[in-house]
Amino acid sequence: MTGEPDPREGALVTPHWQLDDADRAPRRTLRGLPSATWPVLAMIRRAAPGPALAVVVMQVVSGLAAAFGLFATTGVLTELLASGAAGDRIVAALPQLVLVGAAFGLRGAMDVGVALAHARITPAVRRLAEERLYSASLGADLASFDDSRFYDRMHRARDRGLFFLERAADNLVELIGSLLGIAAAAGSLVVLHPALLPVLLLAVIPDGWAVQRAARLAYASVGRTVALDRRVQMVSDLATEREPAAEIRAYRAEPFVLHEYRVAADPLRDEEVRLATAQARVRGIGRALAGVGLAVTYVVLGLLVRYGWVPLAVAGTAVIAIRVATTALNRLVLAANQLVEQGMYVADYQDFLAAVPDSSAPDSAAPDPSAPDSAAGKPPGAGPPPLDPGRVVLDHVTFSYPESARTAVRDVTLTIEPGETVALVGENGSGKTTLAKLIAGLYPPTSGRVRWGGRDLADVDRRQAADRVMMVLQDPIRWPHTARVNVRVGRHERPDPAGAAVRSAAGQSGADEVVAGLPDEWETLLSKQFRGGVELSGGQWQRLAVARGLYRDAPLLIWDEPTAPLDAKAEFAVYESLRALAADRTVVLITHRLASVRHADRILLLHEGELVEQGTHAALLAAGGRYAELYELQSRMYADA
Ligand SMILES: Nc1ncnc2c1ncn2[C@@H]1O[C@H](COP(=O)(O)OP(=O)(O)OP(=O)(O)O)[C@@H](O)[C@H]1O
């Protein structure tokens, strides 16, 4: 496969947040730290206020204990370095030694406490962040999902925002801890002798430089690998997931998938090796410089002692404090760098939540549909009065999908009387599904009005409208749940204690035959992804989906080609039940099988988004237009067969 484009080129390479020049990283770290910190801090405060407070308090106590321990160490050294017999000096130092032990013991206890509290923060943050994200996503209008910017934003928030929010919470705890550690070491040194502070800086700067530089290299590397990582992930899904497995084998595409993997994975490996080598080199230089810095530090300390500016015991404590501060500084620089980088992903998450106006849970009081006798409904009197679809009127309705230059539905004016059955027919892409979704209130028209019983759907809460619609779609969800839930999710809050409504819907759709053949009947898990789960055929799934639509039981029925994958017997049964359902409902039926629409009260023919013909089957045939032509074609096909 030659002439393959380099995966490092093209639009995928540059991440949406545009990496800055790596040389500007240190300034960005300082500038970006507050904005990266606040959202994470706010999330932690909301998700786990108690543990968060405990972490801060215990980290402060730990810092104070460290400082106290350093003072006590000076006391110990003072006694040990005093003149007199060794035994006497040790005895004299004992009280201070006990204090040192107590201080460091307390510090250890605080560190364990911090770890315990920290262990509660991260899962709580994830829990809250996930629920907010899913709630926002479920609360978004259907049209949002056709908007690539929304979709992209949501996926960035989900795939990276959530993950890095968690990591950022960890880093924030680390950052605070290391900051307090440095403060404790530096503070105690200043108290012991102000001249020791510059000495401390001398010792920690080389190490700090090395860590900062290594983080900068890693950051620059992310810019080069982000697209490759994504690509490897995509290939990984192709190679390991169940859905593409059959087609890949049927097309003998295995070598192609492996080739795709290599094209992305080879440069990724090379980049990782390059980064690790560069980082090792920088760390080596850092170590060497730190060694020099430490030697200079000791010389300076020696001179301070030699000229009597600093007592020997204080110099000994300074050595310990310098080690403590160096370790804490390394942690601080790393945590700060990571936090700023993660902050960009956290900003994705925040942007998404901010972009979805209604992020409240769509139905937070939803009962569990898997419970056979779940009977919880909406509390009486809650919410607005039920909306009656009544007469459905479309007034010059035009609709274009977001970012689409094509008009999917163009200037459709139409009235559907209550109880009427209309059939939408037309070629592929003529706008039937789109028009049905406009009728159902799932999309707001780009221009024009949709009214139900005189009420403009633009003024109605879409959940209230959805409540009045039963919809069976071409490609229904295969809920990875039991057969019962697959039906009950049609109206999960509907009380059905003895399961009579589920059985009735299943009987009408032929799903009862499917369920009778399952190992645990209604309680069989319909997903191969879980142990004991079974998989259904396309037609069997469709029967369950039809049962789900029937179980929903609402006054407006939208039926979008649900019988296409059904066998002749099941299709016949479904159309029989449809006829029964149509008796007291308004039905919008979409199908390509024109023989099935003959009984509709009215047939609407769409062509390139426009309503071009309408009337009864007989009238349209007599008119000899496009419908008659299509019908003629289909009849001939069946006759030939
Ligand atoms: N989510 C979408 N985003 C952008 N354009 C879309 C989307 N869904 C459909 N379209 C476009 O809108 C037009 C109408 O599509 P629609 O699905 O309503 O046609 P249809 O008559 O139901 O087709 P079919 O018979 O194949 O189901 C088509 O040009 C299609 O490409």
Q: How confident is the model at residue 373 (pLDDT cuts 50, 70, 90)?
A: very low
Return the higher-pLDDT residue of 193 and 128. 128
Q: Is the pLDDT of residue 159 over 90?
A: no
Return the higher-pLDDT residue of 358 and 68. 68
Q: What average pLDDT does the segment 437-455 reach? A: 90
Distance 394 CA to ligand 1 centre (A): 19
Q: In angstroms, rounded to a whole number, what is the distance separating the alpha carbons of residues 50 and 274?
A: 44
- Do the beta carbons of residue 388 and residue 453 sit within 8 Å? yes
**Is residue 401 lining ligand 1, measured as CB closer than 6 Å?**
yes
Ligand 1 atom nearest to CA at 592? 25
Among 18-27, 174-183, 214-223, name the most confident range.
174-183
Q: Is the pLDDT of residue 545 over 90?
A: no
Residue 489 has, within 13 A of its CA and on its CB side, a CA count of 16
Q: What residues are paired with 392 via a beta bridge?
A: 416, 452
| DSSP states of 107-167 | HHHHHHHHHHHHHHHHHHHHHHHHHHHHHHHHHS-GGGGG-HHHHHHHHHIIIIIHHHHHH
Distance 608 CA to ligand 1 centre (A): 10
Q: What average pLDDT does the segment 372-391 reach? A: 52
pLDDT at 640: 60
Probe target for ligand 1 pocket from 401, 472, 591, with the most ligand atoms within 8 Å of CB:
401
Looking at ligand 1, which residue's alpha carbon is closest to its atom 16?
A: 431
Distance 433 CA to ligand 1 centre (A): 7
Domain spans of the chain, in order of start? 22-193+310-355
pLDDT at 591: 85
Probe target for ligand 1 pocket from 404, 563, 588, with the most ligand atoms within 8 Å of CB:
404
CA–CA distances in Å: residue 48 to residues 34, 350, 359: 20, 19, 21
- Return the closest-CA partner of residue 499 out of 369, 366, 377, 380: 369
H or E element in which residue 510 lies: none
Full-model pTM = 0.73
**Is residue 151 lining ligand 1, measured as CB closer than 6 Å?**
no
Neighbours of 75 (CB within 10 A): 18
pLDDT at 106: 92
Burial class (CB in 10 A: 0-12, 13-18, 19+), 440: buried
Please determine, for the modelled complex, whether the ipTM score is greater than 0.95.
yes
Lowest mean pLDDT among 88-102, 494-508, 515-529: 88-102
Q: Which two tokens stand for residue 120?
A: 């509660």
**Is residue 434 lining ligand 1, measured as CB closer than 6 Å?**
yes
Looking at ligand 1, which residue's alpha carbon is closest to its atom 28?
A: 429
Looking at ligand 1, which residue's alpha carbon is closest to its atom 4?
A: 401
**Is residue 432 lining ligand 1, measured as CB closer than 6 Å?**
yes
pLDDT at 605: 93
Average pLDDT of every residue of the chain: 81
Q: Is the pLDDT of residue 362 over 70?
A: no
